[in-house]
Structure 1
Amino acid sequence: YAFKASAFSMRFSKRPKRCLILVTALFVGLFYVLRTHRKSTSVVYSNTKIYILTATYPRLVQRAELTRLCNTLRNVKNIHWIVCEDSESKTNLTATLLERCGVPYTHLFAETPSFARQMPSVPYWTHPRGVAQRNRGLQWLREVLVQGHDKAVLYIADDDNTYSLDLFEEMRSTRRASTWPVGLSGELPWEGCVTLPENRSHISSMWVAHNPQRPFPIDMAGFAVNVNLVLEHPTAALDYNLPRGMQESHFLLGLGLKHWSELEPKADGCQKILVWHTRTADPVLASWRRLQAQGILAPPIQDPV
């Protein structure tokens, strides 16, 4: 009986070990499958090109702003930078900067019509800026890309905002239109999409102070769209004759979208700030003007400011 009991206990003691080995093997297999799937998904989306459309205009800080944005985009793979300047022709300043930047680019120009030009004494937010330039960029996309053939996403990026590199990888998987919060926007620390803890894949509300009844109460920096939407809707564009804050809604409605709840939440379910609506302060040049008035000129320098 002692022998039988000992044999039984040995068989019984082996079962937990076998179960442990089986469970470990299952976890290792599951980890491998998930890792492989994640890698394959990453590879699929890494093949998606991002077209970054930037409107720019002449000012003292223009070169500094474009240089900073260039240095950001240098670190992003598989992009094409569309830069359209507010001018009657391409300027040497922008052309030289883009050539030196090292990022694949297209250089365009479109002059803002006289009726839409902003007076120096008027606050910057009273008039929409970059409408003609962004529309020219949209026109270029429709001339160059083929619907259903080019796998790409469009993002409209101001030259003075601040961008995390993670933002571009987030938007790369946009199926139709995606969104995320924007820092320092709308007179709030941040504004944009909100999701609930139990479902981070669906937008439950929008956190915004100005006109929350808009179909899409978001900043231009807070969304990206699949290029196929732009090609499918050839008349979707921006418009000077719109109330303040309606450019984004007008454009997205023109792409066939109806409501902010259709947008795909990015940035960990709208939990992270990956872009900030920043503005460079106007430089103080009182000494320069005083010296000019005295007939004292600055020494010649090869580079523009």
Structure 2
Amino acid sequence: MSEVRIRPRQVLVLIIVFLVILMMVHRNGKRTCQGPDYLQTMYAQADTLPTIYAVTPTYTRPAQKAELTRLSHLFMLLPHLHWIIVEDANATSPLVTGLLERAGLEKRSTQLNIKTPPEFKLQGKDPNWIKPRGVEQRNLALTWLRNNVDTDRHSIVFFMDDDNSYSTELFAEMSKIERGRVGVWPVGLVGGLMVERPYLSEDQKQVIGFNAAWRPERPFPIDMAAFAISMDLFIRNPQALFSYEVQRGYQESEILRHLTTREKLQPLANACRDVLVWHTRTEKTKLTAEEALLKQGKRSDGGMEV
């Protein structure tokens, strides 16, 4: 049997081909996706899409880690999101820090904190309305954005509560928001309805009304999850902030009145026919057995983070 000899030059060629293939696999692995078309498009265009800054106020409670974990999976899937988590606390917590680290989101997140002042009833307003959560936290996030975002690059701000349910497709729609505009879409399971939605003009390009059943007289009778805002509007309107001095349900109108009008809203989500976000709420955690343990000086989660 004759001996097969491999020349050094052939070895070199084989090594080069192997390295080229390895580089291609590595590069494609970073930018490809086997999901639906809209998600594949987002990965292919990740470097040119506007950054979406999702602002999430949060506070300590039994379901906090579970709800933030659910949201973190969205950020792991979507390449152009930056998560701003603002804790209602005097200091940032190891729980949130650890969650971001385990999800690999340290470089695509910002962890802030500010404590909500003691609750009070708004004088001259609805006497049964207690000071709403999230005002201090969202305003701190807006301050951070105004001081840190590159104003030369198009970006979008979305107020993303931690107990809602979001489709990844919503963020593909959000990426279509034009500079100087506010994008809007339907929200499911809110305001006593199966869906709250904008009504559009015949050409489907302009918002002409809303189907809200709860306080439809509001300037913008929509949920916080129903819109996202081009960042340049916040730069041009530094007075745009959330406020305690408004009635219940008017926080959305309070921020939007500084930035846009109904006529300038940009309809998205298949001309506001697709529901891509739901106003879900986690059932209050029942811990009666845990309370019985505590009376005995015991805990089921001793030494564990739940």
Structure 1 counterpart of 2:190, one-letter code: S
Q: Secondary structure at the match of 1:74?
A: helix
Answer yes or no: is 1:164 the counterpart of 2:159: no
Match for residue 26 of structure 1? none
User: Number of residue pairs matched?
Assistant: 256
For residue 281 of structure 1, the aligned residue among 283, 291, 298 is 283
Match for residue 195 of structure 1? 200
Structure 2 counterpart of 1:170, one-letter code: E
Match for residue 77 of structure 2? 75
Match for residue 235 of structure 1? 239
Instruction: Report the TM-score when normalising by structure 1.
Output: 0.78
Q: Secondary structure at the match of 1:112?
A: coil
For residue 217 of structure 1, the aligned residue among 211, 215, 221 is 221
CA contact (8 A) 1:46 1:78 kept: no
Give the deviation of 1:233 after TM superposition.
0.9
Hey, what's the Cα distance between the residues in 1 that align with 2:97 and 2:168? 24
Hey, what's the Cα distance between the residues in 2 that align with 1:192 and 1:298? 44
Give the deviation of 1:296 after TM superposition.
4.0
Hey, what's the Cα distance between the residues in 2 that align with 1:234 and 1:152? 16
Give the deviation of 1:202 after TM superposition.
2.1
Match for residue 157 of structure 2? 154
Query: Residue by residue, what CA displacement relative to the aligned partner does 1:249-272 show, whole Å, maximum 9, x if unpaired?
Result: 1101122x1x32321110000001
Structure 2 counterpart of 1:172, one-letter code: S
Hey, what's the Cα distance between the residues in 2 that align with 1:283 and 1:63? 13
Structure 1 counterpart of 2:155, one-letter code: A
CA contact (8 A) 1:54 1:156 kept: yes
Match for residue 293 of structure 1? 295
Query: Residue by residue, what CA displacement relative to the aligned partner does 1:75-109 show, whole Å, maximum 9, x if unpaired?
Result: 11211101100001111111111122223100000
Distance change >3 Å, CA 116–CA 81, structure 1 → 2:
farther
Hey, what's the Cα distance between the residues in 1 that align with 2:62 and 2:45? 41
Query: Residue by residue, what CA displacement relative to the aligned partner does 1:190-247 show, whole Å, maximum 9, x if unpaired?
Result: 1121235x42222232110122122211111000010000111112100112101111
Hey, what's the Cα distance between the residues in 1 that align with 2:54 and 2:203? 30
For residue 182 of structure 2, the aligned residue among 177, 180, 183 is 177
Q: What value does the CA root-mean-square deviation take over the aligned residues? A: 2.3
1:238-249 alignment runs, 5 A limit:
238-249=242-253
Structure 1 counterpart of 2:144, one-letter code: W
CA contact (8 A) 2:208 2:263 kept: yes
Q: Secondary structure at the match of 1:304?
A: coil
Match for residue 29 of structure 1? none
Structure 2 counterpart of 1:206, one-letter code: F
CA contact (8 A) 1:194 1:269 kept: no
Q: Secondary structure at the match of 1:115?
A: coil
Higher Rg of the two aligned structures? 1
Match for residue 251 of structure 1? 255
CA contact (8 A) 1:86 1:109 kept: yes
Hey, what's the Cα distance between the residues in 2 that align with 1:251 and 1:100? 34
Match for residue 12 of structure 1? none
Match for residue 6 of structure 1? none
Answer yes or no: is 1:208 the counterpart of 2:208: no
CA contact (8 A) 1:46 1:172 kept: no
Distance change >3 Å, CA 239–CA 295, structure 1 → 2:
same
Instruction: Report the TM-score when normalising by structure 2.
Output: 0.78
Distance change >3 Å, CA 92–CA 296, structure 1 → 2:
closer
For residue 119 of structure 2, the aligned residue among 95, 115, 119 is 115
Hey, what's the Cα distance between the residues in 2 that align with 1:253 and 1:61? 34
Query: Residue by residue, what CA displacement relative to the aligned partner does 1:124-157 show, whole Å, maximum 9, x if unpaired?
Result: 975421000000000000111243x021011110
Hey, what's the Cα distance between the residues in 1 that align with 2:111 and 2:88? 12
Hey, what's the Cα distance between the residues in 1 that align with 2:117 and 2:230? 29
Report the identity percentage: 39
CA contact (8 A) 1:170 1:266 kept: yes
CA contact (8 A) 2:46 2:79 kept: no
